[in-house]
Amino acid sequence: MVRFENVGLRYGMGAEILRDISFEIGPQSFQFLTGPSGAGKTTLLRLILLSLKPTRGLISLFDRDAVSLNKDAITGLRRRIGVVFQDFRLLDHLTTYQNVALPLRVQGRDEFAYRAEVVELLRWVGLGERMNVLPPVLSGGEKQRAAIARALIARPELLLADEPTGNVDPTLARRLMRLFAELHKSGTAVVIATHDLALMDQFENARRLVLADSRLHIYE
Amino acid sequence: MNFMQSEAREKAERASSEPGLSRRQEVPLVPAASIAGRALVTVIAIMTFLAALTAGTAILIADAARGWDQSIAREMTIQVRPIPGHDLGAETAKAAAIARATAGIAEVKPFTKAQSEALLQPWLGSGLDLSELPIPRLIVLKLDRGKPLDAAALRKALDDEVVGASLDDHRFWMRRLAIMAGTVVVVAVVIFILVMIAMVLAVGFATRGAMAGNREIIEVLHFVGAADSYISRQFQRHFFRLGLRGGIFGGGLAILVFFLSGILSAFMRGTAGGTQAQVMFGSFELGSKGYVAIAVIAGAIAVTTGIVSRVIVFRHLRKLG
């Protein structure tokens, strides 16, 4: 599904912030991406999303070489990926409902076709009463859940979540993790970037990709 | 994957059919507040007003020039000046007779003394005794379009046989006026094009500003799978609305100006200045053709505004890629 071979990334003439990164993410796999703050977890997720170009190495996504992809093809691949940003990236002028429905709307789907599904998901993440509220009014945890719902609504084949439980209480964190686990069981590959050891300990069987000193260490 | 069981799904479906949700309008993805909309609408309104004014004036002058061209083909005048020792009435009759005998002239209409004096009334006023003034007589010749007139032969015959007569061939002056009118129309078209270019540049700046202000929104749209064409359509829709508002304001104002000019022109028709202006520009009434042209300009400006913003956004996004 995702394959990195000796990928390196540097900004300008600076030192490489990611060096010789090689790994694969298989279909229906579940893994944590971890490492200290500033290790490059978010950067690695952006490389997977093809929003950054590596300075060296090969990236392939859904069996397609990233170098050969044009913008339309990248758009097509991104529709198969759900992403939860660390800073949520909700659009402040859209309601919770509209934010969550965004991935379906940009695909040109009719609102009547997806409305019930969006409402159902919003209720599931506990935002049933907040669907007509604008993000600035939401608490950090509510924004987090809205961001997760937006990532899940298009039923992605690959979910990338950057610190998805960073702003929620432990109970809700467990609930959200159960949601990710359920998503994984239904066939979605999941990558969760976190430095929350307690969270990772709940999923002892999950693969761990650890970023340290610009390199990636894999613990199966 | 089912996020919920069927009972919960039914509840959700019921919720989705709530009036508040069912009547939900599609909110623009580019927030209106993020674009200097009012300033751009004002700029577009001013540009539309200037473009419509220029186009309307060009139409008025072109119509007037067409009228002059037709006059050239239609009329000539013989002027018989009073010469001491000669009977002006007899000389006028002689000139009229020569004109009637000339091929290519359909109608000869000599002005009487009273009619000639009446021509001076707008300048000298009424109630004056003009009998002491040496007022020339005019003979208006209506030309026959079917037969060519030998103007040189007519002029020679008048010079030879009538004392104080001269053939006033309008064609030379009318042609100069028509050339001047043509030049004015060309200048108007150039101004129109310059105004359109200025408007396109203004929309370009505004679009780039809007893109810079909405960088994060564009990034999010990309991440959730929006194609460049979809994002640029969002900008197009927004800018089209702004262009339409500006076009309606500017075009509406131009229509109002021409409408009021028409009324004012009709009101001043009896005065000397009004008559002269009417000779130059016709009745100042733009007519339905002119109003339709202004409406088309306003619509075209709205469409251009939308298309320009779309092209700029699309190109910029492609460059980013």
B218 and A89 Cβ atoms separated by less than 8 Å: no
Q: DSSP class of residue A136?
A: G
pLDDT of residue B275: 67
Domain ranges of chain B: 31-69+175-320, 82-163
Domain ranges for chain A: 1-80+159-220, 92-155
pTM for the complete prediction? 0.71
Helices and strands in chain B, H and E counts: 11, 4
CATH architecture of the domain formed by A1-80+159-220? 3-Layer(aba) Sandwich (3.40)
Write down how long chain A is: 220
Mean pLDDT of chain B: 81
CA torsion sign, B146 to B147 to B148 to B149?
negative
Looking at residue B9, its pLDDT comes to 47
**Which positions of chain A have pLDDT values less than 70?**
none
Please give the Cα distance from A75 to B194 (Å, whole number): 39
Q: What is the percent of chain A where pLDDT is above 90?
A: 54
Cβ contact, residue pair B220, A89, below 8 Å? yes
Whole-number pLDDT of residue B33: 67
CB pairs under 8 A between A and B: 98
Among residues A122, A156, A182, the alpha carbon closest in space to that of A25 is found at A156
pLDDT at A130: 92
Q: What residues contact residue B25 under an 8 Å CB cut-off, 6+ apart?
A: none
Using alpha carbons, select from A63, A23, A47, B319 the residue that is nearest to residue A55: A47
Q: Tell me which of A68, A84, A87, A105 to substitute to probe the interface with B (most B C-beta atoms closer than 10 Å).
A: A105
DSSP letter for each residue of B67-133: HHHHHHHHEEEEEE---TTS-HHHHHHHHHHHHHHSTTEEEEEE--HHHHHHHHHHHH-SS---TTS
ipTM of the complex model = 0.87
Question: Which one has a higher pLDDT value, A157 or B16?
Answer: A157
pLDDT score of A201: 83
Look at residue B6 and tell me whether its pLDDT is greater than 80: no
Look-up of token digits 């009101």:
B267
Range with lowest mean pLDDT among B81-85, B87-91, B171-175: B171-175
Which residue among A105, A123, A183 sits closest to B8, beta carbon to beta carbon? A123
Nearest residue, CB atoms, B217 vs list A74, A91, A183: A91
**Residue A64: predicted pLDDT:** 92
Strands A16-25 and A64-65 turn out to be unpaired
pLDDT in tens, B199-256: 899 989 988 888 888 888 999 999 999 999 999 998 898 899 999 999 999 999 999 9
Query: B272 pLDDT band (50/70/90 cuts)?
Result: low
CB distance B221–A106 less than 8 Å?
A: yes
